[in-house]
A and B are shown apart, each in its own frame.
Chain A
Amino acid sequence: MDNIESRGYIKSEVLVSTEWVMKNLTKNSVRIVESNEDPLLYSSGHIPGAVQIDWTNDLNDHVRRDYLDKNGFEKLMSSNGISNDTTVVFYGDKNNWWACYAFWIFQLFGHANSKIMDGGRLKWINEKLPLAKDLPTYPQTEYISPMRNDHEIRAFRDDVLRHVRNGLPLVDVRSPEEFNGLRLHMPDYPNEGSLRGGHIPGAVNIPWAEAVNSADGTFRSADELRQIYEIDNHLQKDDELITYCRIGERSSHTWFALTYLLGYENVRNYDGSWTEWGNMVGVPVQKGK
């Protein structure tokens, strides 16, 4: 279903089609940004004119486990030719995991004029739309960013502990094996860098991929999403919710679906996720279903 407006999303303007991108990609007011997990993909061919913003390289602080600061964000925007009023459209591999992650970080800096290309990189390629290998350069811009706001859409470990004590719901978007804590018991395999397996008490397990159509990677309609999150898993629109996964990338995909497609107003992404929680001393962990 290519017609995004007909899918009943609360904020449908944040999602654009491959067709929209094709029509708008040469506009000065639009910057297409590719964000991938696989660091080789962008250079092997990307949407013409698209810049790459890499999670590991560009969005992380290189010393602390944290994101770049105001100064770093301003520099990144400036060097990619992005102004405060530029429409930024993200797309990437893995059904837009990393695109949603980058989108989420852009929201920590208040770049509200951001969109996701529905279906991501794979849909663009399957539709045989043009690819380019050259690295585009854009004139530097003056970008003024506010201080990073970590309060509204980002949760830290203490927030999560408080959340658990108050009996509030979380969404664990990892696979059922990760959720149940089975994965750490397999012999001969790395254990995800976590000492304990299981999930945060109060979490429901809704793997991130439930939100997308497996055929073409586009988001499911609002009604289908409500069936999954609200009818099958009893979440409610006014819930205070925290999403998490292993490092916060898959859960920013679900954060995006809940916040924009279903209009939830109180969802935070816990980017510390299982790599922090599963290693912390003394925090509550639940195993099994």
Chain B
Amino acid sequence: MTKYPQKLQAIVDEINSTFDRNERIQFLIEYSEKYEKVSEEIANKPYPEENRVEYCESDAYVWTAVDQNKRVQLYFAVENPSGISAKALAAILSESLNGEKAETVFTVNSDIVFDLFGNELSMGKNLGLTGIVNKIKHQLTL
């Protein structure tokens, strides 16, 4: 059994096959460019405090929706234009987890931040990004 749901595991495997730190960074930057902000049908500014990710200096917000088949849709807003890492994580999680069952999404723990970004993140950044993952899980338990 793999550590993460299949599509997310594929991204983790791909990033961990990168040759060096620069390649990993380029890979993540490309994902950050795919980031899409939550649509106005889901949420409007000012975004509710309950959706804000604690500790994330990039001012990130998370919404989760679960349909009648218990399939999850994730939505994100990263309000800091320089929050590239947060955007990359948001794009990766949307691409790989949207449409998965809630119980599957719930198995993803904050290790994913380490597995994607490597061990070179500062503690603050690490807390912010793991905060995004924890916020998703927190919302799914509500």
What is A's interface to B at a CB cutoff of 8 Å?
A: 37-41, 43-44, 54-57, 93-94, 121-122, 125, 135, 186, 188-190, 192-193, 246-247, 249, 275
Within the assembled complex, what's the spacing in Å between the Cα atoms of A189 and B53?
A: 10
B32:A190 contact, CB within 8 angstroms: no
- Cβ distance B119 to chain A, nearest Cβ, rounded Å: 8
A56:B122 contact, CB within 8 angstroms: yes
B29 located at the interface, meaning its Cβ lies under 8 Å from any Cβ of chain A in the complex: yes
Within the assembled complex, what's the spacing in Å between the Cα atoms of A44 and B138?
A: 32
B123:A247 contact, CB within 8 angstroms: yes
A38:B120 contact, CB within 8 angstroms: no
A43-B26, A188-B138, A192-B127 known; A56 vs B85 contact (CB < 8 Å): no
B125:A37 contact, CB within 8 angstroms: yes
A39-B117, A43-B22 known; A193 vs B123 contact (CB < 8 Å): yes
Picked from A37, A41, A135, A193, the residue with its CB within 8 Å of the CB of B122 is A37
Q: Which chain A residues border B58 with CB–CB below 8 Å?
A: 38
The 3 closest A-B pairs by CB, nearest first: A40-B84, A43-B25, A38-B85
Interface string of B110-128 (1 = CB under 8 A from A): 1000000100111111010
Within the assembled complex, what's the spacing in Å between the Cα atoms of A193 and B25?
A: 26
State which residues 12-67 of B face A: CB under 8 Å: 21-22, 25-26, 28-29, 32, 54-55, 57-58
Q: Which chain A residues border B85 with CB–CB below 8 Å?
A: 38-40
A44:B32 contact, CB within 8 angstroms: yes
A55:B55 contact, CB within 8 angstroms: no
Interface size on B, residues (CB 8 A): 30
A40-B28, A188-B138 known; A275 vs B123 contact (CB < 8 Å): yes
Picked from A43, A54, A122, A190, the residue with its CB within 8 Å of the CB of B127 is A190
Picked from A38, A125, A189, the residue with its CB within 8 Å of the CB of B55 is A189
Picked from A39, A55, A94, the residue with its CB within 8 Å of the CB of B25 is A39
Q: Which chain B residues border A249 with CB–CB below 8 Å?
A: 122, 124
Q: Which chain A residues border B54 with CB–CB below 8 Å?
A: 186, 189
Q: Which chain B residues border A43 with CB–CB below 8 Å?
A: 22, 25-26, 29
A94:B57 contact, CB within 8 angstroms: yes
A44-B29, A188-B134, A190-B131 known; A39 vs B57 contact (CB < 8 Å): no
Picked from A37, A40, A44, A190, the residue with its CB within 8 Å of the CB of B57 is A37
A-B contact pairs, 30 of them (CB 8 A): A37-B125, A38-B84, A39-B25, A39-B120, A39-B121, A39-B125, A40-B25, A40-B28, A40-B29, A40-B84, A40-B85, A41-B82, A43-B22, A43-B25, A43-B26, A43-B29, A44-B84, A54-B120, A56-B120, A56-B122, A94-B82, A125-B81, A135-B22, A188-B138, A189-B55, A189-B134, A190-B130, A246-B123, A246-B124, A275-B123
Within the assembled complex, what's the spacing in Å between the Cα atoms of A275 and B123?
A: 10
Within the assembled complex, what's the spacing in Å between the Cα atoms of A186 and B131?
A: 13
Q: Which chain B residues border A246 with CB–CB below 8 Å?
A: 123-124
- Among B25, B117, B122, B134, max chain A CB count under 10 A is at B122
Within the assembled complex, what's the spacing in Å between the Cα atoms of A35 and B58?
A: 17
Within the assembled complex, what's the spacing in Å between the Cα atoms of A39 and B119?
A: 11
Q: Which chain B residues border A41 with CB–CB below 8 Å?
A: 82, 84
